[in-house]
Amino acid sequence: MLEVSYEWDRLAPPRSLREFETHWSRRGDPHSFSGVWRFHALLPFAPRGDCVTIGEGQTLLQRSDQVARYVGLDAGRLFLQYEGMNPSGSFKDNGMSAAFTHSRLTGAKKAACASTGNTSASLALYCAVTRLMRAVIFVGSGKIAYGKLSQALDYGALTVQVAGDFDDAMRRVKEVSQQLGIYLVNSVNPFRLEGQKTIMFRVLEALGWEVPDWIIVPGGNLGNSSAFGKAFRELLELELIPRAPRLAVINAAGADTLYNLFEHQGLRWNGGRPDPLLIRQYYEDMDRQQRRAETIASAIEINRPVNLTKCLRALDTCRGVVREVTDQEILDAKAQVGAGGLGCEPASAASVAGLKRLVAEGVIGPEERVVCILTGHQLKDPTATVAYHTTDQDLFDKVLGSRGVRRATFANRAVSVANDLNEIIRAIELYG
């Protein structure tokens, strides 16, 4: 795995984070408008004028007292960083703008990725808007939410459905890219992580440059968590923050490689030498038992996270913890996020479900200031949402019951009435 590293003493890093505020008055300049490139001084791997932007990173940090109550935090202590507001509806656009910036320097004509959906949606969108490359997308068959697949198709990407899951598609896309010389934008790509650092810069910006106590993020391929750790490591190195926040990475229980290795087998960054034997044995056991990732949170349905060791470093920098949550906990948390006013896709709600666990365990105190990353938009996976709230037991069983979800704790059920004015009025008076 490669990593971007900077010789800061030969560059001009900012002396204070407040310097970035000057961009707010220059929003007519696309690079000052971009939520990624207004932080260019902290990811200066390409000349500022060459950086690719389609207006990513116009995101929102929303205080949510309703969700705070649900997880057991005091009012005013929980903030939801809503990355669903990106142009393709997920945080992936942060990284895609950086990957496109690098790929343009290489002159690549085609770009590929294996994807659980959001990376492909983002790649397809950047290709459609910029016309810099042609998108080739590998998805596992039946393993992609319709909201995301519809984006790749609509934006005109060449979409290859591989008979298998994400881990299979990932292996193939690496082979194909190497053989055909296609630019690979999966999160093995270190430039994507540079763009994703800016999620943390925007969180700090929204908090008046104050460091929160905790950052909570779902973990799939672990690119995001790795990027966050790198962001804080560099901010510490540049003495732009006094301390790093703590980091909690949340796995789905059906795709919990990091959780098992970190919390049960004691795998650590270990000064840059994590024990390769622990990892190899874990994967060999997984193959022998033919264990496959399985969760309603398709964006984190990944058993072989490519950024595993980078994430260990992030956990080291941020005194991190890892937890796993069931699909039941994920969907209940998702319903609470929706009822609180933002809405997100299942994988995103893992952060809130994980927070609830950490508060119950006493790891996070009710007075601590916490930011949960809502990684993707509510409309990415309408099937999961409708199945949760439905009155149709067959639909519930098919989509959710098959994954061990027993009840829709916070279901908001539609009321069926005859096409009759009086009955409709009576229903509204009864339930309204």
Ligand X SMILES: *Cc1c(COP(=O)(O)O)cnc(C)c1O
In the complex, what is the shortest distance from the CB of residue 84 to ligand X, in angstroms, rounded to a whole number? 8
In the complex, what is the shortest distance from the CB of residue 45 to ligand X, in angstroms, rounded to a whole number? 19
Q: How many angstroms separate the CA atoms of 366 and 176, rounded?
A: 49
> Looking at 43-51, 101-109, 278-286, 341-349, which segment touches ligand X (CB under 6 A)?
341-349
Handedness of CA 392, 393, 395, 399 (dihedral sign): positive
For ligand X, the closer of residues 34 and 375 by Cβ is: 375
Q: Tell me the per-residue interface mask from 201 to 230 with ligand X, x by CB under 6 A, - otherwise.
A: -----------------xxxxxxx------
For ligand X, the closer of residues 23 and 88 by Cβ is: 88
Q: Where are the alpha helices (DSSP H) in 162-241?
A: 166-180, 190-206, 223-237
In the complex, what is the shortest distance from the CB of residue 80 to ligand X, in angstroms, rounded to a whole number? 13
For ligand X, the closer of residues 118 and 257 by Cβ is: 118
Angle at Cα 329 formed by Cα 68 and Cα 314, nearest 5°?
75
87 in contact with ligand X (CB under 6 A) = no
| 204, 293 Cβ separation under 8 angstroms | no
Q: How many angstroms separate the CA atoms of 191 and 202, rounded?
A: 18
Burial of 140 (0-12, 13-18, 19+ CB in 10 A): buried
99 in contact with ligand X (CB under 6 A) = no
In the complex, what is the shortest distance from the CB of residue 370 to ligand X, in angstroms, rounded to a whole number? 18
| Member of 348, 352, 384, 400 binding ligand X (CB under 6 A) | 348
In the complex, what is the shortest distance from the CB of residue 167 to ligand X, in angstroms, rounded to a whole number? 13
> Looking at 5-13, 22-30, 326-334, 343-351, which segment touches ligand X (CB under 6 A)?
343-351
| Member of 67, 231, 376, 400 binding ligand X (CB under 6 A) | 376
Where in 258-317 is the site for ligand X (CB under 6 A)? 299-300
For ligand X, the closer of residues 17 and 342 by Cβ is: 342
Where in 110-139 is the site for ligand X (CB under 6 A)? 118
| 346, 252 Cβ separation under 8 angstroms | no
Q: How many angstroms separate the CA atoms of 300 and 295, rounded?
A: 8
375 in contact with ligand X (CB under 6 A) = yes
| 366, 317 Cβ separation under 8 angstroms | no
| 4, 45 Cβ separation under 8 angstroms | yes
Both tokens assigned to 368: 């601590």
Report residue 397 CA to chain centroid gap: 27
For ligand X, the closer of residues 137 and 240 by Cβ is: 137
In the complex, what is the shortest distance from the CB of residue 60 to ligand X, in angstroms, rounded to a whole number? 16
347 in contact with ligand X (CB under 6 A) = yes
In this structure, the chain runs to a length of: 432
Contacts with ligand X: how many residues (CB under 6 A)? 18
Q: What are the respective helix, strand and coil percentages of the chain, to the nearest 5?
A: 50, 10, 35
What residue ranges bind ligand X (CB under 6 A)? 90, 92, 118, 187, 218-224, 299-300, 345, 347-348, 375-376
